[in-house]
Amino acid sequence: MSSSTPTPETQLTEVTRTVAPAKNGNTVSLAQTFPVDPEELWSALTIGSHLEVWFGRASGEVVEGGAYTLPDMETHGSVLAVEAPRRLLLSWEFGNSRSEMELLVTPAEETGADGDAPAADVASAEGAAAGTAAEAGTVGTAAPRTRFELRHTVPADAHWATFGPAATGCGWDGALYGLALHLQDPSADLMGRLGRFANSPEGAEFTRATADAWYEAHVASGADKKPARKASVRTAAFYLGEEPDLS
């Protein structure tokens, strides 16, 4: 559990956002490392009584071939694969649209605290730190760190052409903010707080900032800047109930 409370500002930098082409469209990915062990993170993602305090009501079975429903989001789907506490692959069905979402939970020592460093390098650094601590007589157990990655693969259709990755990414940015707050204080019922945040000036600024971040990720994936910018502006305006300024 973290000693500091996550903020919208920290979320903007703590989350790594990527966009990549996929067989069935485009994959919008968000990754963040949390100061918890994999089992705690897995529980926050898969147990209904945990989900309802930071994400919304959920029911179903986390078993391959099982089904789930998210009534607050009018979304349902099937469990396509599960490898507890590491991987969950779901269909994501809303209205007439269907996409796939993959949740990956990885101990940070396997990826590095930032998701990039090889495990051998991390082990070497930890070994050196342990040696220094031993010399000082302060050997202790390292705090757990676990990397979470959400990969949502959506169709390359007219919706994508109009709104780009921000249409998917901004919503998940808000969800990861809720998850970070939940992991910082699992006893807190966050739904009211998150609802008020979403409708506040600070929430609007967070939406615009995450839309901008998705524009950057879109361009980094090879998209042309002008249409990518218009897509991110349209998305922010849609979320905020505004007319997009495409000038």
The predicted pLDDT at position 247 comes to: 83
* Domains parsed from the chain with CATH numbers: 8-111+145-189 (3.30.530.20)
* DSSP 8-class letter at 15: -
Tell me the C-alpha distance between 146 and 213, whole Å.
23
The predicted pLDDT at position 110 comes to: 82
The predicted pLDDT at position 140 comes to: 56
Tell me the C-alpha distance between 133 and 12, whole Å.
33
Find the radius of gyration of the CA atoms of the chain.
Answer: 19
What does the pLDDT look like over 134-183, one tens digit per residue? 444 445 578 899 999 999 999 999 999 999 999 999 999 999 999 999 99
The predicted pLDDT at position 126 comes to: 42
pLDDT grade, residue 3 (50/70/90)? low
Average pLDDT, rounded, for the chain: 90
Please tell me whether the overall predicted TM-score, pTM, comes out greater than 0.75 for this model.
yes
Assess contact for 214 and 233: CB atoms under 8 A. Answer: no
Compute how many other C-beta atoms are within 10 angstroms of the C-beta atom of residue 143: 11
